[in-house]
Amino acid sequence: MTSHLKQSKRSIPLRIKNSITSELKNYFDGEIEIKERWVDSLSPGVGLCLWTRSNKGALISSGTLLGERNLSSERLSKIAVNRLLKYLKKDIPVDNYLSDQLVPLLSYIKKPSTIKVLEITNHTKTNLEIFSKFNKRSYEIKKVENAFLINFF
Protein backbone atom coordinates (compact mmCIF):
# COMPACT_ATOMS: atom_id res chain seq x y z
CA MET A 1 0.00 0.00 0.00
CA THR A 2 1.24 3.48 -0.79
CA SER A 3 0.14 6.65 0.93
CA HIS A 4 0.84 10.07 -0.52
CA LEU A 5 1.20 12.70 2.18
CA LYS A 6 1.86 16.38 2.56
CA GLN A 7 2.32 17.71 6.04
CA SER A 8 4.70 20.00 7.82
CA LYS A 9 4.23 18.41 11.26
CA ARG A 10 6.10 15.10 11.18
CA SER A 11 4.11 13.56 14.06
CA ILE A 12 0.84 13.60 12.12
CA PRO A 13 1.98 11.27 9.29
CA LEU A 14 3.28 8.79 11.87
CA ARG A 15 -0.15 8.82 13.53
CA ILE A 16 -1.78 8.32 10.12
CA LYS A 17 0.53 5.42 9.26
CA ASN A 18 -0.08 3.75 12.63
CA SER A 19 -3.83 4.23 12.26
CA ILE A 20 -3.89 2.80 8.73
CA THR A 21 -1.90 -0.23 9.88
CA SER A 22 -4.23 -0.73 12.84
CA GLU A 23 -7.35 -0.51 10.66
CA LEU A 24 -5.99 -2.92 8.05
CA LYS A 25 -5.04 -5.51 10.68
CA ASN A 26 -8.77 -5.90 11.31
CA TYR A 27 -9.20 -7.21 7.76
CA PHE A 28 -5.91 -8.82 6.68
CA ASP A 29 -3.65 -11.46 8.15
CA GLY A 30 0.09 -11.14 7.84
CA GLU A 31 2.43 -8.22 7.44
CA ILE A 32 1.15 -4.91 6.11
CA GLU A 33 3.68 -2.77 4.29
CA ILE A 34 2.97 0.92 3.90
CA LYS A 35 5.22 3.09 1.75
CA GLU A 36 5.00 6.83 2.24
CA ARG A 37 5.59 9.34 -0.51
CA TRP A 38 5.99 12.96 0.45
CA VAL A 39 4.88 15.67 -1.93
CA ASP A 40 5.34 19.44 -1.95
CA SER A 41 2.27 21.56 -1.54
CA LEU A 42 1.35 25.14 -0.81
CA SER A 43 -1.21 23.90 1.71
CA PRO A 44 -0.06 23.38 5.29
CA GLY A 45 -2.72 20.73 5.89
CA VAL A 46 -2.85 16.97 5.56
CA GLY A 47 -3.60 15.36 2.22
CA LEU A 48 -3.94 11.58 2.13
CA CYS A 49 -4.39 9.22 -0.80
CA LEU A 50 -4.07 5.44 -0.40
CA TRP A 51 -3.27 3.09 -3.26
CA THR A 52 -3.19 -0.68 -3.22
CA ARG A 53 -3.42 -3.65 -5.56
CA SER A 54 -6.35 -6.03 -5.45
CA ASN A 55 -5.77 -9.78 -5.42
CA LYS A 56 -6.32 -9.66 -9.20
CA GLY A 57 -3.69 -6.95 -9.69
CA ALA A 58 -6.00 -3.96 -10.16
CA LEU A 59 -4.64 -0.69 -8.77
CA ILE A 60 -7.27 0.85 -6.48
CA SER A 61 -7.29 4.33 -4.93
CA SER A 62 -9.08 5.82 -1.96
CA GLY A 63 -9.12 9.15 -3.76
CA THR A 64 -7.56 12.14 -2.09
CA LEU A 65 -8.84 13.03 1.35
CA LEU A 66 -8.01 16.35 2.94
CA GLY A 67 -7.62 16.98 6.62
CA GLU A 68 -9.98 19.42 8.27
CA ARG A 69 -10.27 21.12 11.60
CA ASN A 70 -11.75 18.77 14.19
CA LEU A 71 -11.02 15.72 12.00
CA SER A 72 -8.35 13.64 13.68
CA SER A 73 -5.58 11.93 11.73
CA GLU A 74 -6.94 8.62 12.95
CA ARG A 75 -10.45 9.37 11.64
CA LEU A 76 -9.04 10.53 8.28
CA SER A 77 -7.09 7.27 8.05
CA LYS A 78 -10.17 5.20 8.85
CA ILE A 79 -12.18 6.95 6.11
CA ALA A 80 -9.41 6.28 3.55
CA VAL A 81 -9.09 2.61 4.55
CA ASN A 82 -12.87 2.10 4.41
CA ARG A 83 -12.97 3.55 0.89
CA LEU A 84 -10.35 1.06 -0.25
CA LEU A 85 -12.04 -1.84 1.49
CA LYS A 86 -15.32 -1.16 -0.34
CA TYR A 87 -13.57 -2.09 -3.58
CA LEU A 88 -11.44 -4.92 -2.23
CA LYS A 89 -14.24 -6.69 -0.32
CA LYS A 90 -16.56 -6.59 -3.34
CA ASP A 91 -13.80 -7.51 -5.82
CA ILE A 92 -14.34 -4.36 -7.88
CA PRO A 93 -11.32 -3.56 -10.05
CA VAL A 94 -12.29 -0.06 -11.24
CA ASP A 95 -12.54 2.73 -8.68
CA ASN A 96 -14.90 5.70 -9.04
CA TYR A 97 -12.07 7.97 -10.13
CA LEU A 98 -11.08 5.72 -13.01
CA SER A 99 -14.44 4.66 -14.42
CA ASP A 100 -15.23 7.93 -16.20
CA GLN A 101 -11.71 8.05 -17.64
CA LEU A 102 -12.05 4.57 -19.15
CA VAL A 103 -15.28 5.42 -20.99
CA PRO A 104 -13.61 7.32 -23.86
CA LEU A 105 -11.14 4.48 -24.43
CA LEU A 106 -13.69 1.69 -24.22
CA SER A 107 -16.13 3.54 -26.44
CA TYR A 108 -13.69 3.31 -29.36
CA ILE A 109 -12.85 -0.38 -29.00
CA LYS A 110 -14.64 -2.20 -31.77
CA LYS A 111 -15.34 -5.38 -29.79
CA PRO A 112 -17.83 -5.64 -26.90
CA SER A 113 -16.28 -4.56 -23.60
CA THR A 114 -17.34 -4.53 -19.95
CA ILE A 115 -16.12 -2.82 -16.80
CA LYS A 116 -17.27 -3.46 -13.24
CA VAL A 117 -17.67 -0.44 -10.96
CA LEU A 118 -18.90 0.19 -7.43
CA GLU A 119 -21.19 3.04 -8.47
CA ILE A 120 -22.07 5.07 -11.52
CA THR A 121 -20.78 8.59 -10.94
CA ASN A 122 -22.15 11.70 -12.63
CA HIS A 123 -18.85 12.00 -14.52
CA THR A 124 -19.26 8.47 -15.82
CA LYS A 125 -22.86 9.12 -16.89
CA THR A 126 -21.80 12.29 -18.71
CA ASN A 127 -18.95 10.57 -20.53
CA LEU A 128 -21.18 7.66 -21.53
CA GLU A 129 -23.70 10.03 -23.10
CA ILE A 130 -21.12 12.22 -24.82
CA PHE A 131 -19.09 9.39 -26.31
CA SER A 132 -22.16 7.47 -27.46
CA LYS A 133 -22.93 10.54 -29.62
CA PHE A 134 -19.42 10.73 -31.07
CA ASN A 135 -19.08 7.15 -32.22
CA LYS A 136 -22.63 5.77 -32.20
CA ARG A 137 -21.53 3.09 -29.76
CA SER A 138 -24.29 1.75 -27.55
CA TYR A 139 -23.90 0.83 -23.92
CA GLU A 140 -25.96 -0.47 -21.03
CA ILE A 141 -25.61 -0.20 -17.29
CA LYS A 142 -26.58 -3.34 -15.46
CA LYS A 143 -26.93 -3.63 -11.68
CA VAL A 144 -25.35 -6.81 -10.33
CA GLU A 145 -25.19 -8.10 -6.77
CA ASN A 146 -22.78 -5.53 -5.30
CA ALA A 147 -21.78 -3.39 -8.26
CA PHE A 148 -22.64 -2.19 -11.73
CA LEU A 149 -21.50 -3.48 -15.09
CA ILE A 150 -21.08 -1.06 -17.94
CA ASN A 151 -21.33 -2.99 -21.18
CA PHE A 152 -20.30 -1.49 -24.53
CA PHE A 153 -21.70 -3.03 -27.73
Is residue 123 part of the annotated active site? The answer reads: yes
Residues 4, 78, 86, 123: which is the catalytic one?
123
Please state, in angstroms and rounded to a whole number, the distance separating the CA atoms of residues 8 and 23: 24
Catalytically active residues, by annotation: 123
